[in-house]
Structure formats: C-alpha cells, structure tokens
Amino acid sequence: MNSIEKPGVMGIIPKRKRQKVAELCSSYSKHEVRFQDLIMFIVERKMGSSRRMFLMDLARKKGFRVDDVLSDSVTHIVTENNSWNEIWDWIQNQKLPNADKIKVLDISWFTDSMGAGKPVDIEERHRLQVQKACLLQSDLPSASPVATISQYACQRRTTLNNRNKIFTDALDILAENHEFNESVGPYVAFSRATSVLKSLPYAISSMTHLEGLPCLRDQTRAIIEEILEDGVCSKVESLLCDERYKARKLFTSVFGVGLKTADKWYGQGFRTLEEVKAAKDLKFTKMQKAGFLYYEDINSAVRKAEADAVGQIIEDIVHKCVPDAIMTLTGGFRRGKEIGHDVDFLITCLEEGKEEGLLHKAISKLDRQGLLLYFDIVEATLEKRELPSRKYDAMDHFQKCFLMLKLNKALVDNSVPSMSAVRLTTKGAEPEEKTKIKDWKAIRVDLVIVPAQQYAYALLGWSGSRQFARDLRRYTTREKKMILDNHGLYDEKKKVFLKAKTEEEIFAHLDLKYLEPWERNA
C-alpha cells in the first residue's frame, strides 16, 4: 500500500480517439434510460479501455445511464482492482462539490446489478475495503466519506508491512495465553483484532483512529489506550513473568510436545527442559526424542535460502520418482516472509492417481542418501468425497509426512567449512582424537500429497495465514452459504462441489477480489 502511485486525472482516464468517443455516444443514444436517478461512471484504470467500453455498453442495454466523463451529476463510481487510496485521491483532485455524496463501489456491485437487471442494494462487500492510508484521521477532510474496513481478512489486503506492531505483539501474546487456556472466545477476539490492526495502512497514534474499525472490543481498545499512554500493557508484562505461561511456551517449543503434555510436566514440578530431560520416570515419544535431540536447530529460524535449498533437494528426488510431479513451497515463505520455523511443500501430479506411492518412495530415497533425521507418515483418511468441514480450523485429510531433514550448510553458505576432520591440540601436547565439525542443520519439513483436482484448494489453505484461512471459511459460510476447506468448495444451495484449477477461480466463486499470497499476512 505504501508504494502506490497516486494517479492524477490522466492516470484514471487516458485520452481516447475521437472515433471511440463517437461510438460510445452512439451506443448511449440507442438504449432507453430506465433508472433516471442513477448516473454511473466506470473507472478505466487497471481495467483497460476495451473492457470499460464493453461494461458501459452492457449497463446501457440494461437501462442504466453511464457517463463517459466524470462530472458533478455522477452518483455512482465503479472501479475494479483499485484501492480506496487511489480512487479517493483522484476524486479529490477533481474538486467536485458533491464528492462526499458519490458512492464509490467495487465492480462486484456492478456485476450483481447487471445480473438483477436493476441497481441492487449496496452491501458492505460492494464498498472499497481500505481506509485512507497516508493521512491521520484528524487530517482527513471533514466531508470525506468513511471507507468501510471489512470484518473478514479475506476482504483486506494485509502485507508484511505491519505499522502497528507495538499493539499486535501485545495482543498476540494475550491471544496465545487464551489458546493455552482453551478459552476460545477471547482467543478468537484478540486474533481478529490483531488481524485488523495488521491490515491498516497507517500507524495508530490516537484512539480516534480506531473509529469505525471492526473486531475491536472494549478490552482490546483498553489495551491499545494503555500502550498509547504508557508504551506497554501491564497485562502482557505480568504474563511474561508468569511461571505457568513461560513453562507452557518453553515445553511446547519442543517438536512433538502439545499443550496437554506441557501442562502435565508443569504439574509435576518441571520448569526447564534440562529438568524434563533428566527425569528418569518420563517416557518420550519418538517425535519428542527427535525434538529434544535437534532442539537447537529446530528452534532457530529457517531462512528463505535454506527453504529453497531444502526444496531443491526434495524436488530432485520427487522428479526421479515422478518426472512431471509439481511441488510448491507454501506457508509463510509463499507469503513473502524471509524467515520461518519450518518449510511446507505441496506435491501433486497432473495425471490423477499418479501421486499414489510417491511419498513413500521419496522418503526412502532421502533415507538412503543419509538426509533423513526423523519422519512420520500420516496416511490419507478421506476415502470418498465428503462435505467440507464446517470447522474453521479443521485439519485436512491428505497424506502427509512430518520430517526433519539434514541440510548441509555449504549448500546455503559457501563459507561454512566442509565435513573434514580437525585436530585439537594444545601446546606441548600430542594431537588428540579427530573431531568432526557439525556443518549441517536439522530443518523441519512438511510434505503434503494432494490429488490434482483438489490442488488449488489445498494451496489456498496451506498458504495461510491462519487467520486469513479462518476468516475465508467464515466468510464463505456466513456470506455465501457455502462450505470451504482444503479439499473443496461446496455450494449448499445448488448441492454441488465447485471445481477450481487455480486460487483465482476460488476467489471468483466467492465473489471476492483476488489477493496475492503476499497480501494474506493476516
């Protein structure tokens, strides 16, 4: 959002040839105007002249009045793929006396109106969803219209440029603690509030900047107000010193340790990992043993270069098994992050059914090459085409493998020494036994095998973010009366599954603007 070029008049409406203007005027005169009180103007920018002319002609055939030039008489402005910032800045440049009365709408309103054959009522989803970016609320013209920010993350662009990190960091900690306590309501409330704040194109410096924002309850507003006044939140500061919270966070940082196990260890009096590992009466699962063994590596950040190196290793092996297999990096790295805690890949084959047995073959090859430190294969559990889950956080049923891969650091950083023997000597002493330098790092990897027909839905779900996926499913259920999960989209009215080969098609099924992966960091 911060890199948007502010268009002037010519940026929105480029010059046209006189012939095209004549054609438009001719088209305008052919059709009867049925809705006299509505005068529409369609913005050409990011749409193109040909598409704009087609839409103008379509609207006129339906009885709408569409002006080719923006004027004081225009009541509705229709735009496609433009942000609120771009359109409002442009309207301000026109110096129209009735700018605050013009309805600025997304192309979805136009589409719905054409389908109904008349102007439909303006709903929240028809309005541009981004608030004024570069001005503080106190700097906005008093007559400026208030842009609506959607309650759904799938209708907000959220990049990695978080201008309100001081607030979202505090809310994330509170949300995490409520998740530990299995307090679903407060957890969801704080998570949604955090998501809204991350999407804002401005930094909050006054409580007045919260006016009109969704999902900000009284408790959240009180926390923001305290941080504005004191720089910190007392509840967060207290929580960070809380013995139980610290133990839960520490224990669950071990691969294979969930909340129940963490609470069990805490109840037994353990407070550090050293105490847990030293306990003789505790039994660890295979996953937990690997988690302790490679704890330092697994809890250090995975860099994008490391993720790419891991991807190249696995892709080479996968292609040896199935040459035309497709593998895609998902998760935070697909959303533009430079660091993460693990690496997720989706694997599919263009020919349906060809992916069967692929995962076991690939794991065997990794093992034979000495790269496999740990693995756990979970077989697919969806035997037939069932309805998508209504749970917003439901796990999918794909075959998958959770593994730890041995990544040679030399593949990422050429300065790292090779696995050569090094003699340790002291002055006047004989050389001691040779000691090998550890020049590799354990990397957590998830491999997911997906049938081709479900690949677009799996890619959308596994790309995240978690809150984006939750809100997308919530929007689908509440606003579209459909059910969405990582396997498909089911239309409850038509009683059919909607096919999609790309994420763009899924967004289109839901009448949503397509958001690029890097705009889904909710």
Residues serving a catalytic function are 342, 344, 446
470 to each of 176, 308, 402, 460, how far by Cα in Å?
Answer: 16, 28, 23, 12
DSSP reduced 3-state for 323: coil
Spatial separation of the C-alpha atoms in residues 300 and 341, rounded to whole Å = 7
**What residue ranges in 82-163 does DSSP mark as E strands?**
103-106
Q: Are the beta carbons of 339 and 304 closer than 8 angstroms?
A: yes
Q: Are the beta carbons of 131 and 84 closer than 8 angstroms?
A: yes
Amino acid symbol at 20: K
Burial call 361-377: b when 16+ CB within 10 Å, e when fewer? ebbebbeeeebbbbbee
Spatial separation of the C-alpha atoms in residues 73 and 28, rounded to whole Å = 16
Q: What is the dihedral of CA 46, 47, 49, 55, to 10 degrees?
A: -160
Torsion-angle region of 231 (φ positive above 0: left; ψ -120 to 50: alpha; else: beta): left
Q: Which residues pair with 76 in a beta bridge?
A: 40, 103
**What residue ranges in 371-485 does DSSP mark as E strands?**
372-378, 399-408, 421-422, 435-436, 440-449, 482-484
Sequence-ordered list of residues with C-beta below 8 angstroms from that of 171, at least 6 positions apart, any chain: 190, 193, 194, 197, 220, 223
**Rg of the chain's alpha carbons, rounded to an integer?**
28
DSSP reduced 3-state for 329: strand
